[in-house]
Every structure is written in C-alpha cells, then in structure tokens.
Amino acid sequence: MSSEDPTQRPDGAGDAGETAATDQPVVEIERETGRLIPVWLSTTIYAIFIPWCVVSFAFIGYSMVVQHKILAVIQTINGPWKGDPPPLEGQQLKEGLAFLKEDPRDNLLYLIQTMLQDEIDDPRMARAIVLRKATRWEVESQRRQLFDELLAHLSSEGEIDLDYQLPAAHARTLDVLIAERLANPSDSYEAGKITDVLEWIQAARPKPAAGPERRRVKSLSLKYGKRLLPRKEKRVLEGIEAQWRLSADSAQQAAADQFARMRDGQHAELSEASRRLCEEEARKSEEQYLTGRTRVTQVIASLVGTIRSERKTLKLDHPVLWDLVRLLQEAHRPARENIAEAVFQLREQHFTLIFLSQFIQKDAINPMMAVETPRLTNDEHEELLKEENLRRRLACIDVAQRIALAYCEEPFTIRKIEPDLQEAFFKDKVIRPLAAVAEDKQVGERASKALAAIQQSCARYLDQ
C-alpha cells in the first residue's frame, strides 16, 4: 500500500481539473410553469370571495356599532356613576327606548345580562361596599387580631395551656363578638359550634377540649380574612383616597390617611366624623345602584309587553326565559316586582310555567355551587345562595297565584301545548306545585295563602 496521503494530488492537477470544469458550458434547466387552475375558475372564486369578505367585515362593523349603541342606551337607563339619571319618560331616553323596541327579543337579553352582573362590577355598588368595609374596619381588625392570638395558643388538638390568660383587650373583643352572635343566631350547624367554642374560651375552658376547636377558630379567622380588601376593592378605595386627599373637608382628609392603612391590611380607626361621612356616601351610592336596577327592570317589563303585543313570544329562547324567571331572586323589592310583572306577561309560554314549577319546588341548593370567592367563604356563599333561592321561591309562588287566577277567570292558550292537554298542563305546572309545597317549612305559609286565594276561582282544578 502506498504511504502517500490520498488527499494530496500532483502539482497542477487540481487547478487543471477546476479549469476544465469551468470551461464546460453551464446548462440551465428551465422548469415548467403554468396555471394550477383555469382562469375561469380563479376569476369565479375571486368574484365571490372578495365581495363576501367585504360584506362580512361590513356586517361585523355594523354589529359592533349597534352593540355599542345598545350598551350606551342601557348605561343611560341604568344611570350615571354619579348624579341623578335622566327620567325614563324624558326626551333624552325617548329615542333610546324606541331603538331597543326595534328588536325587543335580542335587546331583552342585554338587559337581563345587565341584571345578572355581580354587584362589585358596578362602580356605584363597589364604592358602597368598600366604604362600608371602612366603617367596620376597626372592629373587624380587632377581631382578626383576636383570632391570631387564639390560633397562636391553640394546639392541633384544640387545647390551650391552663395558665394562659387572654389579654384584656382581646377579652373585651371576644365578649362583644359572642354577644353579637347570640343576638343574631345562624341556622348553620357549624356556626352554632363556632359560637360554642368561643363561649368555651370565654368561660376559661371549664371542660377538656373536644378536638375541633382550632379548626373552628381557623374557619372564623378565614371568614374575617375575606373582609380585607381584594385587588378590585383596593383600586376602588385608592380612587376614593386620592379624591378625598384633595378635599378641603378635614373628615375626608383624615379618612384618606386611614384608607392608606386599610389598603395595606393594617389596623385603622376612623374618627366619628369620618365614619358618618363614609356611611352617608355608601348610602347614596347604594341608592343610585338600586335606582338603576329598578329602571332596568322597568324597561325589561316594557320590552316584554312589546314582545307579547307583537306576538313575538314564540321567538324567545327558553334560556332567556330561564334567566328571566331566575331574576326573581332579586333582593331589591321594586326591581323584583317589575321582573314578576314581566314573567306574568309571558304566562302563555309553556316554558314560563315549567320554570316557575321547578323553582317553586326547589327546596335546596346545589352545595357544589357554593364555591369560595375573593369576597366570600364557602359557608358565606352557601348562605347567600340559600337566601336567593328562598326569595325566588316566594316570588314564584306569587306569580303562580296571579297566573292561576288569570287562567281560571279567563282561560288563555298555552303555546306549544295540544288543545286537549291545556287544562292538564296548567294543573300540573301551576296548581300542583303550590299544593306540593303547602307544608314546606320555608314557603308553606305563602303557598297555603296562594291556594286559599284561588280557592273560589280555581275550585274545579283543586278538587280534581
């Protein structure tokens, strides 16, 4: 074998080879090109696609403009964040209400969704909530300190050292807390047990610990921890603080100093003048919020009347009817009465009667819905849902009574129900639910009164 490097070539060999290769003519390969689709087909596609795109974008833009106008009208109806709203009968809203009635079915959905929004999302109610928190901050701050003190000395088995003595300031806070809980007892089993634990601590622990004492104090501590300011409420309080710092009112300036401590989660104490100022401002903001809800529900009832008079009821989707009946949980009575009127006007819809029947007989909530939120613990959320369910059941009973009287005095046609099944459907969805809950602990009294009120007019259905 040769020991020469195979990569080495004789002098000039490489240059000659490169020259020879360079002297050869370069052959350029011309690729075939042509249309992938015929001219007539591409022209047809462009002639259809381009106008379709133009029309689509124009429709999207038009829809956005219409939606913006709808939301602007609803905001005007709901009222401004400050000051008095314009009258519904005034010239300013006349055109807006006429615009909503041009398409009452779709615009009704916007109004219902406005009513279903969380109260903290409304600037007026958010202002009322944070100002009310500020008025209670001193007391609740003292209670949070009490719970921290107790948790620092409670063992995992619920025991406290025999020689431990609760500091005098915390003992006074505990006395006030227990008196408040005893004066306003809760139906919750767990709430009652928490009160028992607090009384056990107040009485210097006369009996051995049962075990869950620490867990129950911890749950109460978490409840009061929720009364600190979440991020959204901090921003609201920060805005009030900035506004009041520039005020010439000494009470507002003093409150602004304490607001800064509240935003940091520190102990703060409002002066009596500042507390009265916060309470008054909170009251005004809440009144504006509730006035707005009343006005929105008035327009809902008006749109439902338009739908019914124009015989467009059949076009209402049943999810819209579900949300409308669900709004009978409204806490503000005037707004709830307006919703009840709207539901009554839709009495010819078979889904209205079906949903009324379901809500009347719904005697419990789904505990899985009572989730923890930034403002509420699971227990507090469950209590809130129970209160809403009770209000809704009572309101549904009242509406069912009105519908029963209207049907018994002058039978109306229930849509989507066969003529020979009308009376059976009415009895099954209106009369029978009232009778089914007549002995219910929560709503039995109201249902019994409703049955008594329709006794004479609806005797033929009650006796069957």
What are the extents of the domains in the chain? 45-75+87-121, 137-225, 316-462
Burial of 81 (0-12, 13-18, 19+ CB in 10 A): middle
Residues 6+ apart with CB under 8 A from 360: 393, 396, 397, 400, 433, 434, 436, 437, 443, 447
Task: Say yes or no to pLDDT of 463 above 70.
Answer: no
Residues 6+ apart with CB under 8 A from 266: 141
Residue 260 identity (one-letter amino acid): A
Tell me what pLDDT residue 368 has: 87
Place 464 in a pLDDT band, splitting at 50, 70 and 90.
low
SS (H, E, C) 120-184: HHCHHHHHHHHHHHHHCHHHHHHHHHHHHHHHHHCCCCCCCCCCCCCCHHHHHHHHHHHHHHHHC
Ramachandran angles phi, psi of 406, nearest 5°: -65, -40
Task: Say yes or no to pLDDT of 111 above 60.
Answer: yes
Tell me what pLDDT residue 449 has: 94
- What percent of the chain shows pLDDT beyond 90? 62
Tell me what pLDDT residue 36 has: 74
Q: How many CA atoms lie within 13 A of 52 on its CB side?
A: 6
Tell me what pLDDT residue 398 has: 96
Query: Distance between CA atoms of 259 and 239, rounded to whole angstroms?
Result: 10
Residue 26 is encoded by which pair of tokens?
């370069």
> Contact at 8 Å (CB) between 79 and 85?
yes
Burial of 146 (0-12, 13-18, 19+ CB in 10 A): buried
Average pLDDT, the chain: 88
Tell me what pLDDT residue 1 has: 44
Query: Distance between CA atoms of 226 and 461, rounded to whole angstroms?
Result: 51
Place 360 in a pLDDT band, splitting at 50, 70 and 90.
very high
Query: Distance between CA atoms of 149 and 173, rounded to whole angstroms?
Result: 12
Across the range 123-129, mean pLDDT stands at: 95
Across the range 142-165, mean pLDDT stands at: 90
Residue 457 is encoded by which pair of tokens?
């007019």
Burial of 21 (0-12, 13-18, 19+ CB in 10 A): exposed
By C-alpha distance, which of 339, 297, 295, 335 is closest to 321?
339
Residues 6+ apart with CB under 8 A from 139: 176
Total-model pTM: 0.83
Convert the pLDDT of each residue in 6-42 to its tens digit. 445 555 455 555 554 555 666 566 565 656 778 888 8
Tell me what pLDDT residue 28 has: 62
Ramachandran angles phi, psi of 412, nearest 5°: -110, 160
Place of tokens 């003595």: 165
Task: Say yes or no to pLDDT of 79 above 70.
Answer: yes
Q: What angle do CA 151, 178, 331 make, to 5 degrees?
A: 105
Residue 420 identity (one-letter amino acid): D
Residues 6+ apart with CB under 8 A from 369: 385
Query: Distance between CA atoms of 154 and 90, rounded to whole angstroms?
Result: 64
Residues 6+ apart with CB under 8 A from 252: 244, 245, 274, 277
Query: Distance between CA atoms of 3 and 342, rounded to whole angstroms?
Result: 105
The listed range with the strongest mean pLDDT (206-220, 340-354, 446-460) is 340-354
> Contact at 8 Å (CB) between 427 and 363?
no
Task: Tell me the C-alpha to C-alpha distance, in Å, between residue 230 and each of 128, 178, 210.
Answer: 15, 27, 35
Task: Say yes or no to pLDDT of 2 above 70.
Answer: no
- What percent of the chain shows pLDDT beyond 70? 91
> Contact at 8 Å (CB) between 174 and 166?
yes
Query: Distance between CA atoms of 411 and 405, rounded to whole angstroms?
Result: 9
Tell me what pLDDT residue 81 has: 79
Across the range 312-316, mean pLDDT stands at: 61
